[in-house]
Structure 1
Amino acid sequence: MKQISIFLLVSIMLLQAPIAVANDSASAMPTIHRMPAYLLEIPEAVKSILIAETETATMHRFASDDGDVLEVDQRYMSIGLNGPGKEKAWDKRTPLGIYFITESLDTSKLHAKYGAAAFPLDYPNAWDRFNQRTGYGIWLHGVDPDNPNRPARDTDGCLALPNEEIVKLAGELKPLLTPVIVAREIDWVAPSNVKELRQEFRAMLDMWRESLEQGDIAKYLSLYSADSHHFGMGREEWLSSTRESFDNKRFESVILEDVMLVAHPEEPDLYLSRFTQVLASIEGLPKITTKRLYWQRSDADQWKILIDDVG
């Protein structure tokens, strides 16, 4: 009788297990079957993607493998003393958004608090400036070897990793190429969930490229929001410059290389396309520019460019 009871108990547990998994959230998916919702398209040139999750004090590293995004490892980190959500200089908060490493610094010439390695980020970026956020000097760096055990909230706004961990990462971090996405909490989804959105986003970027290549200024301008920003010039100045460029078109083709498509981790329906634009000139050498376009997607699936920036 006891054996029968045990058999029945095990059978019930086995029957219930698939139901529990089916009803679970994406955050509890096995790692191989989940990915961050932000990473829509990653170019082959980008070998590592960092996502700093402030709620769990965790730095996640991902790699792109033949179109799939896989988590490689994760490590403890410290963020700003006053938490995430930087708005102004000296608020001791860590900014949230999509950033890129700009350079690798020789920490032997810096204060000991920066530890074994330091990599400045491009805060404030175009979206931060659009929102009038101020401040500077947000880095990914190590820790003071004489005071290595830092609490989760401890920096002036930077992301700080244990020295042994940032040394392990150093070879993977490429200036002007490696993205560092800072989110409160990672939104995990199944890879199939991003496919349709990626295709939709890529179609809009292709439309932008084609309108530029074909000299179709009406279609080109229709992709920009009525209040779009173009840093370095006002909107009327930008419109005048754009019309002049289309009237005096001096290139044969437009090629977009190393295209990265990313969703903003904190702003719903805000997306970034970053790529190398190659204008094949009819007169000589091609003109090569690294561009960033920030797009807003409406409820009606309408995409408009809010910010046109370089870098």
Structure 2
Amino acid sequence: MKIVFLILITLSLHSSDILTSYRINGINTIEKQMDFELTKKEYWSAYIKDIDTTFGYMESYPNILTCNKENSTLNLYTKDSNNTYEFKNKYSAYTGKIKGDKLKEGDLKTPVGIYKITKKLSKENKLDSFYGPLAFVTSYPNTYDKYRGKNGHGIWIHGLPTEQERDEFTKGCIAIDNTNIECLNNIIDIENTLLIINSDEVKKGISKEILVSILSQLYSWRYSWLFDDIDGYLNFYSEGFIRFDGMKFERFKKYKTRVFKKIEKKTIIFNNINVIPYPNTKNIYQITFKELYKSDTFKFSGDKTLVIKLDKTNSMKILTEK
């Protein structure tokens, strides 16, 4: 596959220049050129041309759950054999007693946001009968929630009481009837299911043009990182940036400047990329991916999250990251 990709890149460039550079300098120069090609809109426009972007650019999630709090519904979409998101089921749902986005512990609101399902609970886990036969634990509060100072925990998708009475609302969770949650459990794999909660209808049919712009900028950010361009790298960050651990922009800038001065050979690979517009916001997107980073002094392999905002020229600025 790598050889095929190299051939395609070579054909799209000045072949003699590439071959001469390879003859004189070896593979490193060609790798740099290939990394640069990944920053171009032309590459991403061709790559996602036939990809379903109903909910954004998705590599990791064949199952999407959308919750419309206004209509009290939970909808399931799954990718069909053509890799197109197909509507599968609509479930009536109970949500938080109080309208609006969850801000703090005990406010009786269901959060608005994008969440992974981190765990499944059942009777085998000693799940209280109040939550029915099953419960799916969500990742609330996520990185963007914490950036905005939201708190609380224990936001689940769960069933209805099997032994108790209940009101027609929750303390912030999403509740569906027990037959439906068992049906949902039979359909989805929680590791490849994403939950998007909005106050009303979840946005669909995301602009490919915007996604191309974001993906090319994501790889421009990576390119600056790979080749120690500290000014180019930091230009992707908002002055109001706060990292997941509370590190603000000026301290982050000094830290990254020290790191970049090492001028190390680095490997940085992104897989399982997802770019999703954030509910109830304008021009804010969540980007998640698996990152492999390796240098002489540091190695990392794991999940990465960026929350970005597009300015009037669609230039991305990173608000927070983890």
Give the shorter-chain TM-score range. 0.7 to 0.9
After superposition, what is the alpha-carbon deviation per residue over 1:204-240, rounded to whole angstroms, capped at 9, x for unaligned? 1111122112222111100000110112242243223
1:92, CA displacement in angstroms? 0.8
Partner residue, 1:289 = 302
- RMSD over equivalenced CA pairs, Å: 2.5
Which amino acid in the other structure matches residue 210 of structure 2? Answer: L
1:159 to 174, 183, 191: 174
Q: Is the 8 A contact 2:266 2:293 kept in 1?
A: yes
What SS does the aligned partner of 1:99 have? strand
Q: How many residues align?
A: 268
2:62 corresponds to which of 36, 44, 47: 47
* CA distances 1:104-130 after superposition (whole Å, capped 9, x unpaired): 223440211111111111111222222
Report the 3-state secondary structure (helix = DSSP H, G, I; strand = E; otherwise coil) of the residue aligned with 2:254: helix
Q: Aligned pair 1:98/2:114, yes or no?
A: yes
Within 1, Cα distance between the matches of 2:116 and 2:97?
22
Residue 255 of structure 2 is aligned to residue 272 of structure 1: no
The answer to whether the 8 Å contact 2:66/2:74 transfers is: yes
Within-5 A mapping of 1:190-201: 191=205, 194-201=207-214
Partner in structure 2 of residue 60 of structure 1 = 75
Distance in 1 separating the partners of 2:65 and 2:260: 38
Moved more, 174-183 or 258-267: 174-183
Matches within 5 A, 1:1-311: 39-43=55-59, 45-65=60-80, 66=82, 68-108=84-124, 109-146=126-163, 151=168, 154-175=169-190, 177-187=192-202, 189=204, 191=205, 194-235=207-248, 236-248=250-262, 250-281=264-295, 287-309=300-322
Would you say the 8 A contact 2:115–2:139 is kept in 1?
yes
Whichever residue aligns with residue 144 of structure 2, its letter is: W
Residue 228 to residue 172, structure 1, CA distance change in 2 (3 Å): farther
For residues 188 and 257 of structure 2, what CA distance do their matches in structure 1 show?
39
Cα distance, 1:178 vs structure 2: 2.4
AA at the equivalent of 1:292: T
Output the CA distance in 2 between the equivalents of 1:205 and 1:69: 25
Give the number of the structure whose residues are more often strand, by fraction: 1
Label 1:150 to 1:162 Cα distance change in 2 as closer, same or farther (>3 A): farther
SS in 1 for 2:200: coil
Secondary structure of the residue aligned to 2:56 is strand
Q: Distance in 2 between matches of 1:107 and 1:182?
A: 27
SS of equivalent residue, structure 2 residue 76: strand
- Tell me what 1:29 maps to: none
Residues 47, 172 of structure 1: 8 Å contact kept: no
> Distance in 2 between the 1:85 and 1:249 partners?
44
Question: For the Cα contact (< 8 Å) 2:308–2:319, is it kept in 1?
Answer: yes
Distance 1:146 1:106, change over 3 A: closer
Task: Provide the identity percentage.
Answer: 25
> Structure 1 residue runs of 4+, over 6 Å off?
none
How far 1:241 moved relative to its partner?
2.5
Q: Tell me the TM-score normalized by structure 2.
A: 0.76
Q: CA deviation at 1:253?
A: 2.3
What code does the residue aligned with 1:119 have? F
Gap runs ≥5 in structure 1:
1-34
Q: Distance in 2 between matches of 1:84 and 1:253?
A: 43
Report the residue type matching 1:137 in the other structure: G
Shifted more, 127-136 versus 156-165: the winner is 127-136
C-alpha change, 1:187 and 1:175, in structure 2 (3 Å) is closer
